[in-house]
Chain A
Amino acid sequence: GENVEQHPSTLSVQEGDSAVIKCTYSDSASNYFPWYKQELGKGPQLIIDIRSNVGEKKDQRIAVTLNKTAKHFSLHITETQPEDSAVYFCAARNYGQNFVFGPGTRLSVLP
């Protein structure tokens, strides 16, 4: 089955700096890769996703890149703000299969 690894487990950055979180997956058939943000006491919320036929996707300060050959994908947050502080999860999914989530990255943006 699919296995998703995520690094780092914790990340602290200064406000205004960039943050990068990396994930690797094991199942080459996986074709959908979402990123979720979980704030304290809340459920995960989708912030960006990418499908296997695309190499990069950007939405304002957030971007995701996908390298299918190497089976890894990354989340990039630029100009970080204190409200970006949260736990971020990557996930991978193949058609008809369940989502497999990475273990999460706790991002702290220091003012």
Chain B
Amino acid sequence: DTAVSQTPKYLVTQMGNDKSIKCEQNLGHDTMYWYKQDSKKFLKIMFSYNNKELIINETVPNRFSPKSPDKAHLNLHINSLELGDSAVYFCASSQGPTSGIEQFFGPGTRLTVL
């Protein structure tokens, strides 16, 4: 059973389009995250939700809008895609938002904007 799953695994689209990436976790965790990994492998947090409430929102363009319909799902919608949005996006979850809690990562979604 996959703990954290993401769809799609690959996403190729044209500049200016709107796209969504879906994430689901079956671990019963309260907290979910979105990370962006650029071409140099640098991992940076974008958003964090705890019990469907936004708790971390790093400096991310407002073209990115996360949505958490329930504790097990955290989707990422991106409007007006730009070339610089090309990256691998990882969803992760943890039992809670506090320190010392392991994060479980999904397999990633490779987004390519042409």
Identify the A interface with B (CB < 8 A).
Answer: 31-32, 34, 36, 38, 41-46, 49, 51, 87, 89, 93-99, 101, 103-104, 106
CB-based contact A51/B43 at 8 Å = no
B88-111: contact bitstring with A at CB < 8 Å (1 yes, 0 no)? 001010000111111111111000
Judge if B56 is at the interface, Cβ distance under 8 Å: yes
Given contacts A49-B102, A95-B99, A103-B41, 9 further A-B pairs with CB under 8 A are A31-B99, A31-B100, A41-B107, A42-B108, A43-B106, A89-B43, A98-B45, A98-B48, A106-B41
Chain A residues positioned under 8 Å from B99 (CB to CB): 31-32, 93-97
A51 to B99, CA, bound (A): 9
Number of A-B pairs whose CB atoms are under 8 Å? Answer: 58
Chain A residues positioned under 8 Å from B103 (CB to CB): 34, 46, 99
Judge if B44 is at the interface, Cβ distance under 8 Å: yes
Chain B residues positioned under 8 Å from A45 (CB to CB): 105
Shortest beta-carbon distance, B93 to chain A, in Å? 11
CB-based contact A34/B102 at 8 Å = yes
CB pairs A–B below 8 angstroms (28 shown): A31-B100, A32-B99, A32-B101, A34-B103, A36-B105, A42-B107, A42-B108, A43-B90, A43-B92, A43-B105, A43-B107, A43-B108, A44-B43, A45-B105, A46-B102, A46-B104, A51-B100, A87-B41, A89-B43, A93-B99, A94-B99, A95-B99, A96-B97, A97-B99, A101-B43, A101-B44, A103-B40, A103-B42
